[in-house]
Chain A
Amino acid sequence: MAADEEELSINEQAISASEDEEGSDDERKHKKLLEAISSMGSRKRKKQNERSEASVQVSEFFVNAEGTGEKVNLSDLLGTVEKTSGASNKTKKQLRNLQSSKETLELPLNKQQTEKIQRGIAYEKTAAEVSCWRNIILQNQKAEQMVFPLNQESPGPKRVEQVVAGWKVQTPLEQEIFRLLHINSQPVDDPVLTPVEEQSLKAMSLEEAKIRRAELQKARALQSYYEAKAKREKKIKSKKYHKVQRKAKCKDFLKQFDEMVKTNPEGALEELKKMELSRMEERMSLKHQNSGKWAKSKAIMAKYDDSARKAMQEQLQMNKDLTQKIVVPSDDEHESNEEGLETIPDFVNDSEPVIDSVNPWMRGQLTHEEPEVSCVTTEDVQTAEEENEEEELVGEFERKRKLRQADEEDLIPTEEERKRAGLKKIQPASEVVEEDVVEVSDKEEEDDDDDDEEEEEEDVSEFNTLFRLMRSEKTLEGSNQTREGLNTPGQEDEEGLLNEGQIRVRNIEDLEVLGEFVDPQPIAEPSLPRTAAVEATSEPPYKKKREIDLKEVLTKEAKAVKVPFLPTVVDEEERDEQISIIKEAFAGDDVISDFIKDKSKLEAAGRPEVVDLTLPGWGEWGGVGLKPSRWKRKRERDEQISIIKEAFAGDDVISDFIKDKSKLEAAGRPEVVDLTLPGWGEWGGVGLKPSRWKRKRFRIKTAPPPPRQDQKLPDVIISENRNASVASHQVSQLPFPFQNTAQFESSIRTPIGPTWNTQSVVKNMTKPKVITKMGAIIEPMVKEDFIKNKTTTPGGKGPAIMLGENKRAKEGTKRSSEKHRGRRSQKRRK
């Protein structure tokens, strides 16, 4: 407010000073206007203070400032500073120094230079920052093997605290528990499992894994077996077989169905519905109605052909069967069935246990006049009938197969046969029964061909066979059981018969078996070598019997020849460098060489002389004094020479060799290159010779080659040729870190193959430099990974589950690091 009043006063003064002016009115108005405008705004604008010169003379024409045009000296300022007590001595001093110095200030650096300096500083900073990676990088470079991703979690069970890392202790109960644990110093942060326990746990898991794997393997194998079996069966072309199979399946299903009725009525109902559906379908379709092409053709044939008629009837029967309404077994029926079932065993005991082919009287033949014996429902009879047929068929198949096998094995008699024979011995009883069954079934087949009248009889007989089959199965299961289980009067007889049956001979094969059975001596004797020439000279048990043969005599002779065997040692002569030395080397055996010479001479004498076969004039112009052509002579001569050479090869061997060697040596020596030009730089003319100086100057001698390898070996010529073929496989340039060949050669002197090393060493030597886990993402290394490793040992020091604030504090750090990672990952995603 005070300032405002002052201003006003000033303004009044100014106005008074220029009251006369006309424009002053306008000015005032303008000012007022401005003020009014400014007052309109809600905010009060700060008024700019006007500065006015405090001067004695105020002229209206110019502003008069005192001391204008004069420079402000430092001393002016200093004077005041000196006086003020507030300024520190230091600044005073500095000011004084400044005053004394006369230098001007330097110009600020230009842009490029400042930037350069800044860059330098930035570089240093980043270098310092990055240098913390240096160690880890070096370490990784040096590492023999790197496994990526770097921070792999160890497989196997984890500790509780690792799993529970993210879990907070929240509820008061939990807090209480952990408090208690802390108080009692229970392992909260220590590993829950001791290392030993952990190891044992791992081992357990491994075993389990193995067991599981084995199970899986077994299951797979079984599956594959079943698949193979199904395939095989599917491939069988026999329609009959398939029919039988289908029926058997159907029968099985029915059996199951019966059980199902008891156990799982709902399921049974469903099945029943299905069956009903199939029945409906059957009724709907024209199948098995004898209305098809085939049926019509059969109908024509039916007059004359029994089988056709039968087939048609079968069709109709099938239709009947299929369209028959399924009777839901009521309780009453059930009971009756059960009764029936109860009655059967008695009947079984009555007649059947004594079935044997041996005793025809023991064959319990059911007469067809006893239908009431079988208290089974008609349906059951039918099924039984079918069953019989099927089983017969199956039996037939089996029998055929067996026969085939037997045939094959007859062709190749082996040990297997014996084994099988042994097996036969073990279960003869069952076989007996089986054979019977087969017989009976054969009969039935014959019966099948008979008329329809016998059908009923057939049924009964079939039933018999079925029964026998049942028995045979039982016997297969365990003959002992049957024997014990069946308490019948004829048991002893039966047993006796069975025993008899054991030795019964049925075919040739069995005959053989019998023979083996009778004499328990093993036939297997080591077969003597067939080659008559081979003489097993030393067989201790027989050697005494051996006659004195020529060989023995000879070996005794060998004893006597002991002395001539002895080789006489020839003194090894010392060798010098020249020919004489070699000669000396061979000089020790003059006698021998003489002998050889003599021998060769003798040989030469003994050899037929060279017959001259050239016919002079043959194929040429005749005339006196004509000689055979040159080539002819040459050829003969060559032959002769070669023969003679061979004969006298031992004569001048040494000189020949030396000649050869000297020739080679000469060839190896470099030739002198003569570059002299006669007459060049000299007077011309005939017969001039280049001067001695010139000859010396222009005859270029190449450097002598390195000494030959065989220089000091007079009786050896070693080829100096380089083996270029190996060179293509050799290393020709020294690889990087090595400085000379010795270093490199020593580094590869140990082979790495399994031929020369043990397995573990080979693995160690050839291990890959980098291992990556399949499918795992390899993250770039994060700074925390290795820095953490350095500072804190992972897993241990800090408590695993933190309580309260402590935890929160740590979480903060963790979160930050996570954030960091998250950002990184985001960046990557972008």
Chain B
Amino acid sequence: MDSLICYLPKKVNIYEFDWLFLTQPPKRYWEETENTDQRRPEEEQGTAVQNQNKSTVKERSLKRKNGENLEKKDPFPGEAPIPHKQLQKFQRGEKYKVPAGARRRLKEAIISSEAMSELAQKQAARYDLLLPEDAGFLEGDEDEDTNTISQDDIADAVDITSGSKYFNLHLSQFGPYRLDYGRTGRHLLVGGKKGHVACIDWQSKDLMCEMNVMETVNDVKWLHTEAMFAVAQKRWLYIYDSKGLELHCVKKFNDVLRMQFLPYHFLLATASATGFLQYLDVSVGKEIAAVCTKMGRLDVMSQNPHNAVIHLGHPNGTVSLWSPNQKEPLVKMLCHRGAVRSLTVDKTGTYMVTSGLDRKLKVYDIRAFKPLHSCFLPAGASCLSLSQGGLLSAATGDIVQVYQNVLGSSPVSKPYMAHRLRGQIWGLAYCPFEDVLGIGHGEGFTSMIVPGAGEPNFDALDTNPFRSSKQRQEWEVKALLEKVQPELIGLDPGQLSKVDQASFEQRHKEQVEALGFDPLAKDKFKPKTKKKGRSSAGAIEKRKRKVAHEDQRDEIRQTVQERTERDKEQKEKSNEKKKLGNKSTLDRFRK
């Protein structure tokens, strides 16, 4: 192998590869803190303090000479300083200053809340030290492109465990495969178009279950844990457990083409061929919302992990954003001239990458809904996927290309990595917390090593790849307790922490809409049924007169009616007669 590969999977010690060189040595926590420690006393402490320090130093040296005082003094008193950059990373919003002339209570409230948020920020920045892992990357020679390096070479160069992450599953019978990785990145679910479904603990290559559902499989998705997964089959949506046992057949969800699972809301969002976007709450098993998109067949779907908004791509080149709370799209944007083939949203919810039939690849800033840049892929991209590290993989025909720095402002010029496969690519997904890209294609499944793809540090309380079953159970309970209600899904996830400034009328209107009646409306006027004075002699006489001769009245009414009818008929007849009488036989020749 003539190329120099610098590959840093997170578990490899860099010093083992002394023949490699690094463009940028990974930062280690002690380096930075040392620097700051050196800087700190000069920057922050005043000159007076410095003088004091000097004097104390002098004293100490004198004492040492005399041998009187041997006890050591802390050269860096107080807490260790936190680098400004790190602090900034954990800043939440702007600091609010106490307005002039504020009342005592207000002043206290503001000051205490500010102190609290500052403490939280500092502590978080301090604990950032516990995330020591860095992402690595691949680098070639001066005249070598990284995309020419084959997977075999990479697998050879790295350690055994990392090398074993490159593997193929030859499954040519049940044709092109969709796939999904579990949230912890340990479990892989593959579903072949022709009904083959298998879930694998892919790191130990342990087959959890395998079956053929004897139906077309449109999509597969893990639910909140690796104990359950959903399969969108030809007609209905099915839910199986990890042993392959059919738990549910959800007949409310028909003709599902694509699915997305919103982990914090426990919602399974499905897009169907009939144009319906449906949400299933898997914690209670209820359909939360069914939205008729009126956009035709929905076979392009993605979720924004930042705000749990569902993105749908449509054949008319638009991408629409949906929440379960609104019957119309939150945003609808025209992205391509042709149909949208695939789209994906990055982890932070800042960028969206779309590809369309017009063979363009576009990067959008979905905070401002503005395109950042677009490029032309000769073959067009059928599948897109963004990794936690921000690497974009695009399936162009039977080749998977991986692009680096796509999300920046500058457009990309060449792929970071490339890999050719046999057969059409059908599914593409990065494995969380691993430098691995899973590719489902016509001939089976390929796990490809992509250095720098995964997030190197995981939150063990949220998604722990190494968790035991007991931990998983505990996590499940906790997650259910912390479940976010679907009403909170919206474009701005921080909406809840804002004051609702709607007017009273508007709120009242909404309330009326929600309740179906107006709670503040006045009752209709109802005349009182008076009882007093009803039995007076005059009143009784009046009433009697009203009802008197009822039978006779009817008769009279009938006879009158008959008479009028007869009269009418007679009149008509006479009119006709008159007309006829006026007209002679020759009249018809008249003009």
Contacts and interface: CB of A to CB of B under 8 A. Distances in A.
Given A538-B155, A539-B160, A726-B495, A749 B93 contact: yes
Given A713-B370, A719-B331, A757-B124, A729 B496 contact: yes
A586 B337 contact: yes
Contact of B316 (A586, A649, A742, A757): A649
Nearest to B486: A725
Interface stretch (B16-24, B218-226, B373-381, B562-570): B373-381
A743 B114 CA distance: 11
Interface in A702-750: 710, 713, 715-719, 721-732, 734, 736-739, 741-750
B200 to A, nearest CB: 8
A555 B150 contact: yes
Contact of A755 (B413, B482, B497): B482
A538 B499 contact: no
A750 B116 contact: yes
A-side interface size class? 35 or more
Interface stretch (B161-169, B177-185, B232-240, B252-260): B161-169
Given A596-B358, A726-B495, A761-B120, A565 B399 contact: yes
A746 B112 CA distance: 12
Contacts of A71: none
B361 interface: yes
Interface in A532-580: 533-540, 543, 550-552, 554-559, 561-562, 564-570, 572
Contact of A723 (B171, B338, B420, B490): B490
Most buried by B among A562, A642, A747: A747
B156 A538 contact: yes
Nearest to A717: B332
A758 interface: yes
Contacts of A558: 147-148, 150, 399, 418-420
A592 interface: yes
B376 A529 contact: no
B434 to A, nearest CB: 15
B401 A565 contact: yes
A660 B295 CA distance: 13
A742 B411 CA distance: 38
A127 B119 CA distance: 41
B371 interface: yes
A543 B151 CA distance: 14
Contact of A724 (B316, B411, B415, B514): B514
Given A538-B160, A554-B422, A746 B360 contact: no
B414 interface: yes
Interface stretch (A116-124, A238-246, A650-658, A670-678): A650-658
A703 to B, nearest CB: 13
Contacts of B76: none
B119 A538 contact: no
Nearest to A556: B150
A88 interface: no
A561 B502 contact: no
Query: Which residue, of A592, A642, A656, A713, has the highest number of chain B Cβ atoms within 10 A?
Result: A592
Nearest to B339: A649
A754 B481 CA distance: 13
Contacts of B401: 565
A725 B325 contact: yes
A715 B413 contact: no
Contacts of A534: 167, 169, 205
Given A535-B168, A589-B358, A739 B160 contact: no
Contacts of B357: 596, 650
B7 to A, nearest CB: 13
B535 to A, nearest CB: 49
A643 B273 CA distance: 14
A169 interface: no
B109 A589 contact: no
Interface in B534-581: none
A154 interface: no
Contact of A727 (B127, B374, B378, B507): B507
Contact of B123 (A554, A593, A757): A757
Interface in A332-382: none
A533 B496 contact: no
B133 interface: no
A654 B378 CA distance: 23
A558 B422 CA distance: 12
Interface in A215-266: none
A737 B106 contact: yes
Given A569-B411, A758-B124, A716 B331 contact: yes
A405 to B, nearest CB: 27
A724 B510 contact: yes
A742 B482 CA distance: 27
Given A537-B168, A717-B331, A746 B105 contact: no
B106 A739 contact: yes
A191 to B, nearest CB: 23
B370 A592 contact: no
A531 interface: yes
Contacts of A654: 334, 337
A653 B488 contact: no
Contacts of B147: 558, 562, 565
Given A543-B156, A726-B490, A746-B94, A565 B332 contact: no
A765 interface: yes
Given A719-B326, A730-B500, A745-B499, A568 B155 contact: no
A747 B113 contact: yes
A530 interface: yes
Contacts of B193: none
Contacts of A749: 92-93, 117, 497
B260 to A, nearest CB: 20
A567 B127 CA distance: 42
B413 A566 contact: yes
Contacts of B462: 755
A45 to B, nearest CB: 76
Contact of A726 (B117, B330, B482, B487): B487
Contacts of B120: 750, 756-758, 761, 765
Given A559-B148, A729-B496, A642 B164 contact: no
A791 to B, nearest CB: 27
Contacts of B167: 534-537
A725 B148 contact: no
Given A555-B150, A653-B316, A539 B113 contact: no
Given A538-B163, A646-B315, A761-B119, A731 B376 contact: no
Given A727-B510, A730-B495, A717 B333 contact: yes
A593 B338 CA distance: 8
A582 interface: yes
B168 A565 contact: no
Interface in A622-665: 642, 645-646, 649-650, 653-654, 656-657, 660
B412 interface: yes
Contacts of B168: 535, 537, 551
B134 interface: no
Contact of B164 (A539, A569, A754): A539
6 contacts: A538-B160, A539-B160, A570-B376, A649-B316, A729-B496, A755-B462
Top 3 closest pairs, chain A to chain B, by CB: A538-B155, A538-B163, A555-B150
Given A535-B168, A729-B488, 18 more contacts: A531-B207, A565-B399, A566-B413, A582-B334, A589-B337, A593-B338, A716-B331, A718-B369, A719-B326, A722-B506, A723-B325, A727-B507, A730-B499, A749-B117, A750-B116, A755-B461, A758-B120, A761-B123
